[in-house]
Amino acid sequence: MRSPLRPLSRRGLLTGTLGSAALLAAGGSLAGCGTKGAQQTEAGCVSEDLSGTEKKLAFSNWPQYMDVDDKDESKRPTLDEFIAKSGIEVTYTEDVNDNNEFFGKVQNQLAGCQSTGRDIMVLTDWMAARMIRLGWIQKLDKSKIPNVEANLLPSLKGRSFDKDNQFAVPWQSGLAGLAYNGKVTKELRTVDELLTRPDLKGKVTALSEMRDTMGLLLQSNGHDPANFTAAQFDDALNKLKKAVDSGQIRKFTGNDYAPDLAKGDIAACVGWSGDVIQLGFEDESVKFVVPESGVMLWSDNMLVPNKATHKGNAEQLANYYYEPAVAARLAAYVNYICPVQGAQAEMEKIDPELAANPLIFPDEAMLSKSKVFMALDEKQEREYEGKFQQVIGA
């Protein structure tokens, strides 16, 4: 059964309690990222796997990111099925509310090669990249996750922060693109239209998530957001600044653009596919647009941190969620892009309308226009975030 429109989507929580601006405000945390004491190596921080004797698993995830039973919200059908089939006791905690906030929870332990008490944690690409860069994540045994090897979408393989697919397994994915309300404006096709069209002046919002907004602008300038130079970033940022200075862009938001878009208080925006799917259930005039220049693809990833003592159990769970029938049941609830090939055919048995939704199961034409934002080193992260925050007035 399709899930109802939820007041705060998972992706929107990225800019919730801390958000992008916190990357600068949390300077002490980030400064520590480059110190020798924070950096770990596989040889220097060895983890013991007790999966053979301990059938348990601690799983940290975002709120509303697991299917629940409509009649009994204490039941999680796919997870309960995994527990019954595997005999592995899973402690499931919805304690990832913001990437930066979660980083603050675990950084002291991981920097010191100590246990976080978690075996799986789900984090967005850029935070996954940071933790992999710091040596805080265990390598996965590919022989233990054959379903992931066989069924992961090709567009999610070989990402810049995990080129050999050794550390991160996408849990769910989504798109950052354009959206508009057809009741208050005509069709929108390009980023340049959003930033310059006179009839949209003052009726536009963009995302305060730097990688999504700037990724789209880089594409609109003909540059590759997966591989760009500082000069190209500055070029795209200047385009954004012009739109801000001219009054074209009203404000920068987390997912709080969604109700304004639904009401027609804003006409168009940079937005997330999951939000727009949910709005579309209520009003078909709200449309998501893949810009002609391309769209940004992001994922939230299952990661096994250092000193997690149940890596084998974690790999068993990851493999289970890459069974197409299981992945389809999860996607029917969360409404984000399913990263599992074969799940679309299974979804047709559950909900043919969802199976035909390109924002849950993108076709090759859409995926071919998608890019994952380039992995940044610590210096680049500070520099690009700082410049972006200055322009958006954060």
196 and 157 in a common domain: no
214 and 104 in a common domain: no
181 and 198 in a common domain: yes
Q: What is the pLDDT of residue 365?
A: 86
Is residue 280 a part of any domain in this protein? Answer: yes
351 and 308 in a common domain: yes
Whole-number Å distance between alpha carbons of 136 and 118 = 13
385 and 255 in a common domain: yes
For 240, residues 6+ apart whose C-beta sits below 8 A from its C-beta are 195, 206, 213, 214, 217, 249, 391, 392
Beta bridge partners of 162: 159
Mind listing the pLDDT tens digit for each residue in 10-28? 444 443 333 444 434 333 3
126 and 102 in a common domain: yes
261 and 379 in a common domain: yes
Contact 76, 170 (CB under 8 A): no
345 and 239 in a common domain: no
The closest of 213, 201, 192 to 248, measured between CA atoms, is 201
Is residue 365 a part of any domain in this protein? Answer: no
180 and 276 in a common domain: yes
Q: What is the pLDDT of residue 155?
A: 86
265 and 384 in a common domain: yes
Domain with 210 in it: 174-297+375-392
Low-confidence spans in the chain with pLDDT less than 70: 1-37, 394
Beta bridge partners of 175: 297
Tell me, what CATH number does 153's domain have? 3.40.190.10
Q: What is the pLDDT of residue 285?
A: 95
Is residue 43 a part of any domain in this protein? Answer: no
Q: How many residues does the chain have?
A: 394
Beta bridge partners of 121: 60, 303
Residue 125: φ, ψ to 5°: -40, -55
285 and 186 in a common domain: yes
Is residue 159 a part of any domain in this protein? Answer: yes
Is residue 18 a part of any domain in this protein? Answer: no
331 and 268 in a common domain: no
Task: Please state the domain count of the chain.
Answer: 2
Is residue 42 a part of any domain in this protein? Answer: no
Contact 90, 117 (CB under 8 A): no
State the amino acid at position 161 in one-letter form: F
